[in-house]
Structures are given as structure tokens and as C-alpha cells.
A and B are shown apart, each in its own frame.
Chain A
Amino acid sequence: EVQLVESGGGLVQPGRSLKLSCAASGFTFSNYGMHWIRQAPTKGLEWVASISPSGGSTYYRDSVKGRFTISRDNAKSTLYLQMDSLRSEDTATYYCATPGFAYWGQGTLVTVSS
């Protein structure tokens, strides 16, 4: 059974950093690209970043370029999102998802506030 479990969310002040993790199981993680998607409170879904199976290619939405870094450790079957210089508008539940969006994690809430 495919499982994606996010962790690392919490309350953080503007300008600070946070690193999210997504532990994957039930499939050969190293064969698949992965996505981070976020959802601000009471709002819709927004793609954040994607990474290729090897980690050699990464893609970001414009508003997080230069602040967020997506990475992966295929030996640990874990996806990461390093978030620096956080802003209030980054407040959201962050989901990891597999290609095709057939599988999503339960999400981890990031709140950026002073």
C-alpha cells in the first residue's frame, strides 16, 4: 500500500526557515518524480515544486523560487522541502503527491506569523 507521510510543519516567524519531510513507502520511490502542493486556509490548491526521480531536475513556482528548495534522499525514500525567508503568504497545508496525483499525504500545516 502506497503511503506518504508529511512532517515538519509548525508555527514560524516571518523570515525564518522550516524543512518539511515526506516519507514514502509502498512503491519504488527512486523511480518517480514527486510534487509538493499547498493549500492556504479555506483556499484552493497550488502547485509549489517538483523534482525528477534522480533529483537532478527541480521546478518551482515563481513565488517560491530562490526561497524554497526541493530535494530527495532515495536511500531513505524521503522527499524534502527546505523553506527559507518564509512569508505570511506561505501559510498553508503542504502536501506531497506522486506523479499523476494518485496518492497524496495527509498534509502538514505551516503557519508563518509573528
Chain B
Amino acid sequence: DVVLTQTPPTLSATIGQSVSISCRSSQSLLDSDGDTYLNWLLQRPGQSPQLLIYSVSNLESGVPNRFSGSGSETDFTLKISGVEAEDLGVYYCMQATHAPLTFGGGTKLELK
């Protein structure tokens, strides 16, 4: 199975600060169809996960553009340009290139 390693496990930020989360894959996530199926999700406390970014860098509809994704092959990054209070929670990367689907261990974003 593909292992996704997220760092850091915990991130403390102040409102307005820009932060980045890394997701490293044990295998290339570039699919034979040319797409890279690496998504980012946010799970706020007590809520279901919410899709933020799909296929590395595509912003899901309704998601603020302070969120951005980048990367390729095995190294991916989620950046939040100016953290807001509603951004607190646990961020997960996930891959759908290789079966079975797998998720990273999560990065908890807290207020400093």
C-alpha cells in the first residue's frame, strides 16, 4: 500500500500567518492517464472531512483561495496564505492513484 507521510503532525499558527503542510508518498502518484490523484481534506472538530484541493492543485468549489496545493510525483504541499480561525482542525492528504486508497496521518492546525 502507498504510505503518505505528513509533516508536521501539529502546527501552531497565529491568525494571518501563512503555513505549509508537507505530504510525502512512498511511490509516485502520477497515474498512467497523466493525472496525479492527490487530494487535501480538512476535518474541523466534530465535523465530517471536507475536500479542499483535488489533483494536487485544483481548488474545490467554494473553498477560499487562501488555500493552494502544489507538488508532483512524491512530494506535495498544502499552503494556507493567511490562517483564519475557521481553518483550525486536522488536515489530511489522500491518494487515489494506487489501490487501495490511502490517507496521510493528519496534521493538526492549532491557534498559537
Docked-complex contact A59 and B48, CB < 8 angstroms: no
B94 part of interface (Cβ distance < 8 Å): yes
**With a CB–CB cut-off of 8 A, which chain B residues contact A50?**
101
CA A35 – CA B51 in complex, angstroms? Answer: 14
Q: Mark A74-109, 1 if CB is under 8 A from B, else 0.
A: 000000000000000000000100001110111100
Q: Is A11 interfacial (CB-CB < 8 Å)?
A: no
**Is the CB–CB distance between A59 and B51 below 8 Å?**
no
B40 to chain A, nearest CB (A): 10
A34, B20: Cα distance in complex, Å: 31
**Shortest Cβ distance from B62 into A: residue:** A102
Does any Cβ of B come within 8 Å of A73's Cβ?
no
Residue in B51, B99, B102, B104 whose CB lies within 8 Å of A101 = B51
CB neighbours (8 Å) of A59 from chain B are 99-100
Interface range on chain A (Cβ under 8 Å from partner): 10 to 19
Check: A26 CB closer than 8 A to any chain B CB.
no
Contacts of B49 in A (CB 8 A): 45, 95, 101, 104
Total number of residue pairs linking A and B with CB closer than 8 Å: 42
The CA-CA distance from A105 to B94 in the complex, in Å, is 18
Q: Write the nearest CB–CB distance from A87 to chain B, whole angstroms.
A: 19
Q: Which of B60, B99, B101, B103 has most A Cβ within 10 Å?
A: B101
- Shortest CB-to-CB span from A6 to chain B, Å, is 10
Give the residue name and chain of the B residue nearest to A35 (CB): B101
Query: Does the CB pair A45–B92 fall under 8 Å?
Result: yes
Closest CB-CB distance, A7 to chain B, in whole Å? 15
A95 touches B41 (CB 8 A): no
Minimal Cβ-Cβ distance residue in B for A97: B49
Q: Is the CB of B41 within 8 A of A47?
A: no
Q: Let me know if A41 is at the binding interface, CB within 8 A.
A: no
> Is there an interface contact between B103 and A100, defined as CB atoms closer than 8 Å?
no
The answer to whether A102 and B60 touch across the interface, beta carbons within 8 angstroms, is: yes
CB distance from A102 to the nearest CB of B (A): 5
**B residues with CB within 8 A of A:** 39, 41, 43, 48-51, 54, 60, 92, 94, 99-106
